[in-house]
Amino acid sequence: MTIADTAEETGTSTARARRARRTALWLITPGVLWMTLFLVLPILMMVYVSFWTQTTFAINPVLTTKSWVTFFTSETYLDALWTTVRIWLLVLAATIVVGYPTALFVGLFVRNKTLQTVLLVLCVIPFWTSFLIRVLAWRPMLGKEGAINMILEGLGIIHAPIEALLFSELSVVIGMTQIYCVFMVGPIAFMLGRIDPNVIEAARDLGAGFGRIFRTIILPMSMPGVVVGAIFVSVMVLGEFATSAALSGRKVNLLGNIIVTQVGSLKWAFAAVVGVVLTIVMGAVVAALLRVVDLRKEL
């Protein structure tokens, strides 16, 4: 091969690499534009508005930290922040406790792909109805004269209705767990379905019991699904307001409820402050979850 042939081949490779980079840029451009227009710019605008001067009947673009000081010096708003974090932790734990065994059965013990699909479709059937209908359907279930109290009284487990089932923090946790549990089941079942049955069979042949197989094989290999499900559930629960308003009778005040109230009162600056705080909390939660497992490596 002559020097000219080598130079020509090098030039061809360089041109091919340049075309590949141009193609990649064209493919990524719509996504970057979309994220810039509908994620980055709104967040920056929200941060900017949070420093505007808010009066009773007007808002002026004069920068001040008054709304931020009001939020961090008010016991009501700090309580709402803590309530939001507490409900998120409870719902996240509940969805894992309820969702993991379900995903374990669907993803590991059901080897028939058709039956797996049917079971996963059954999990999402509640989503064929309206979100509000699913939330409000809990009222006749959890009420003082609701189905659960009637069943417990009929079985002789309780002698008086449990009033704490409705219009309480417990009712909000129950409602959110039922609504968002499927977002935990799906990713975990997907990861469990990728485990090679021969690996489990080999461990069983070597004398390992189910407990040891679960700790050393199943749980580590399903962690990416748990993290993805936790991110889905966390983002949706932290931004919730409808379930709390419907099932707690406005006794449970989340950050999402404060945003709705402030926007309804045209207090855009304070609503923006709460929105920024909520966004920071969500970002911290997602960042912490992503440190549990390297999703790029595992997926």
* Spatial contact of 221 and 108, defined as CB atoms under 8 Å apart: no
pLDDT greater than 70 at residue 2 = no
pLDDT digits (tens, 9 = 90+) for 186-197: 999 989 888 888
- Residue matched to tokens 């449990």: 162
pLDDT greater than 80 at residue 163 = yes
3-state secondary structure (DSSP) of residue 81? helix
**Range from 102-116, 163-177, 255-269 carrying the lowest mean pLDDT:** 102-116
Confidence category of residue 249, pLDDT binned at 50, 70, 90: confident
- The pLDDT assigned to 227 comes to 94
pLDDT digits (tens, 9 = 90+) for 60-82: 889 999 999 999 999 999 999 99
- The pLDDT assigned to 184 comes to 94
State how far the Cα of 259 lies from the Cα of 241, in Å rounded to an integer: 9
Q: What CA–CA distances, in Å, run from 128 to 47, 50, 122, 134?
A: 36, 38, 11, 10
pLDDT greater than 80 at residue 296 = no
- Cα 16 from chain centroid? 42
Which DSSP symbol is given to 127?
A: G
Confidence category of residue 299, pLDDT binned at 50, 70, 90: low
pTM metric for this prediction: 0.87
In percent, the amount of the chain with pLDDT more than 90 equals 54
pLDDT digits (tens, 9 = 90+) for 123-149: 888 888 888 888 888 988 898 888 899
State how far the Cα of 122 lies from the Cα of 133, in Å rounded to an integer: 18
Buried b (16+ CB within 10 A) or exposed e, 111-150: eeeeebeebbeebeeeeeeeeeebbeebeebbbeebebbe
3-state secondary structure (DSSP) of residue 53? strand
- Residue among 145, 180, 135, 143 nearest 164 (CA): 143
Confidence category of residue 177, pLDDT binned at 50, 70, 90: very high
pLDDT digits (tens, 9 = 90+) for 211-236: 999 999 999 999 999 999 999 999 99
pLDDT greater than 90 at residue 8 = no
Across the chain, mean pLDDT equals 90
- The pLDDT assigned to 298 comes to 66
pLDDT greater than 80 at residue 4 = no
19-39 average pLDDT score: 92
- The pLDDT assigned to 9 comes to 73
State how far the Cα of 286 lies from the Cα of 109, in Å rounded to an integer: 30
Confidence category of residue 279, pLDDT binned at 50, 70, 90: very high
